Amino acid sequence: MSGLEQPVELTRVWRWLLLVSVAICAASGLVYELALVSLSASLNGGGIVETSLIVAGYVAALGVGAILVKPFLRWPAQTFLAVETLLGLIGGLSALALYMTFAVVGQNLWMLVLATALIGILVGAELPLLMTMIQRGRLADARTTGSLVATLNAADYLGALLGGLAWPFILLPWLGMMRGAAAAGMINLLAALFVGCVLLRHLLPRPQFISAVVALLVAIAVLGTVLVRSDGIVATARQQLYTDPVIYAHQSDYQDIVVTQRGADRRLYLNGGLQYSTRDEHRYTESLVYPGLSDSARSALIIGGGDGLAARELLRFPDMRITQVELDPEVIEVANTILLSDNGGAMQDPRVTVITDDAFTWLRAGGDEGQRYDAIFVDLPDPNNDTMARLYSQEFYTLALARLNEGGRMVVQSSSAYTTPDVFWRIGSTLSAAGCGAVIPYHVHVPTFGDWGFQLCGPVGTELVLRDDAPPLRFLTEEVLAAAGVFGADNQPRELEPSTLDHPRVVEDLRRGYRQAGE
């Protein structure tokens, strides 16, 4: 039986199964887009521009897909299965393809736009095809079509909700970006295979049905291979990003953590950005820590610095007590294992209290019972996205300064004073706007970083000197520190508007500096 002669119960089952399939396909489609957003954040910093392009581009592509599919509505079943095959394959492979592109040629915004457009177009084609199949199967008439469209939309939105929850809570933490996207593609293809074999078989000529099933099975086999071998594929692509052999790699909930080593030179990378090299990290670490210590300093707060290097230096003072606030617990784990010999076990010292939390939230909530400190060190990655820019804002520095004891000092790593001068000087202006009595800029040469800058914030009259009981240092001396406060004629101090939550100016400063450095 077919058409209006189908039993009512069979029609209800057909509709229910179709709605479930629609929800699964919608969930997969949203997972693909969330994977692109996550990958953009990991590889490119995931700023407002990239996120807006993905979200707005996806929504626009939905409409384009609905228009482009119109000539194919004469063959709704065949086209639907073809669309789902392409969607599952392209969506499932999108994260891996973008990662490999990044590894080979670097950041490529056009690849991100293309992937977003293709996925959006294919998802946008689904609803017109589904409605056409329903009308061809006579499962809806003029009286019930509106109700059915509403039900289809509800299933579509419910599926999107499930996909939005599955990505951060199941797929990403359990499988990672590459395998998570591939798993969503696999589910997408299996749902399409079910629809083809159970619901659409009677609508297709036998040769076309067999061809569609074979195409789906081939696509499933491809994604199955990716799921099984993705670790090896990603490891090969990842190695393209690094000159030295990768000895550790892990995608945490927050970032891509990689450690490389060649001979005695061990390096830590977060999201592809170098954090330190054992060849010269002492230059950076000593320059960060010692100018921030007054003669009476006995307590310190480290924001970031999860590698444990700053804590290592502070622990050279026997009576020092340290609170370490680090967002990512995986970084602490790496510090206590792979990097243990670099930090001397600092993160396991009983004088160090480690807190895994967002520093902004922790400060605002009065973490550590509102305790005040003699010194604060802000040792964070460069502000390459709007999320990180929160921790370089006037509001954040105001919260941090409120936790300083009278006469206390704060040092902020401030990117390259030469390559990204606007970032460097804007951080100084932002500290002044936050209420620093004196802001002293200084910079040193770190071979793996180049000319690197810091800002010292303290009460009026603060000077750039070492404390009297400073231990013997490998790099920093009174003479070197005095010279660090001198800037050439081509990079003199400048007054800039502060970076705030409302206007995270420091992000564009950083990107402009990178662009100009590459010219």
Give me the residues paired with residue 440 across strands: 456
Residues within the annotated binding site? 255, 307, 326, 358-359
Give residues with Cβ within 8 angstroms of 481, minimum separation 6: 290, 291, 442, 464, 465, 466
Residues 325 and 512: beta-carbon distance below 8 Å: no
Q: Which one, of 167, 350, 342, lies nearest residue 248 by Cα?
A: 342
Residues 384 and 511: beta-carbon distance below 8 Å: yes
Give me the residues paired with residue 257 across strands: 250, 270
Please state, in angstroms and rounded to a whole number, the distance separating the CA atoms of residues 146 and 39. 39
Q: Return the C-alpha torsion angle 177, 178, 179, 180, nearest 10.
A: 40
Q: Locate tokens 């210590």: which residue? A: 293
- Exactly one of 156, 349, 379, 509 is catalytic; which is it? 379
Residues within the annotated binding site for spermidine? 307
SS3 95: helix
Beta-carbon neighbour count of residue 37 at 10 Å?
18
The CA-CA-CA angle for residues 498, 504, 506, to 5°, reads 70
Q: Return the C-alpha torsion angle 187, 193, 196, 197, nearest 10.
A: -130
Please state, in angstroms and rounded to a whole number, the distance separating the CA atoms of residues 198 and 16. 12
Beta-carbon neighbour count of residue 224 at 10 Å?
13
Please state, in angstroms and rounded to a whole number, the distance separating the CA atoms of residues 28 and 43. 22
Tokens of 386: 């709007």
SS3 286: helix
Answer yes or no: 141 catalytic: no
Tokens of 291: 């100018």
Give residues with Cβ within 8 angstroms of 485, minimum separation 6: 440, 441, 442, 464
Phi and psi at residue 434, in whole multiples of 5°? -75, -15
User: CB-hemisphere CA count at 13 Å for 382?
Assistant: 31
Please state, in angstroms and rounded to a whole number, the distance separating the CA atoms of residues 244 and 266. 9
Residues forming the active site: 379
